[in-house]
Amino acid sequence: EVQLVESGGGLVQPGGSLRLSCAASGFTFSNYWMHWVRQAPGKGLVWVSRINTDGSTTTYADSVKGRFTISRDNAKNTLYLQMNSLRAEDTAVYYCARGYSSSSPVGAFDIWGQGTMVTVSS
């Protein structure tokens, strides 16, 4: 079964750090670009970051640039999001999602994890 499972969320104080993980299974992880998308409570979806297949290219939303770092370990089939200098407005459910692959016709985000909640509060 194709699956993404996030972990690492929790309660953190403003200015603190957290590292999210996303474990992939059921597909060739190293063939796919991967993304993080977040959703604040009761709000819409906001794209956060992406990484290419070998980790050499990363892109960030302006709201997290310089504070968040996306990375991946293809040997462990795992995607990461290191979040530093956290702010109250970073409070959200964070989803990892599968993106583009040269071997896939889709292009959009076709597989999503269940999400992990990050709460930034004192």
Partner 1 sequence: DIVMTQSPDSLAVSLGERATINCKSSQSVLYSSNNKNYLAWYQQKPGQPPKLLIYWASTRESGVPDRFSGSGSGTDFTLTISSLQAEDVAVYYCQQYYTPSYTFGQGTKLEIK
Give me the residues that bind partner 1 (CB under 8 A), please. 35, 37, 44-47, 50, 59, 61, 95, 99, 105-110, 112-115
Nearest to 112 by CA among 37, 28, 11: 37
Shortest gap between Cβ of 46 and partner 1 (angstroms)? 7
State the nearest-atom distance from the C-beta of 113 to partner 1, in Å: 6
Between 9 and 99, whose beta carbon lies closer to partner 1? 99
Residue placing its CB nearer to partner 1 in the complex, 77 or 115: 115
Strand partners, 98: 34, 111
Of 31, 12, 53, 55, nearest to 103 by C-alpha is 31
The pairing of strands 116-120 and 10-12 is: parallel
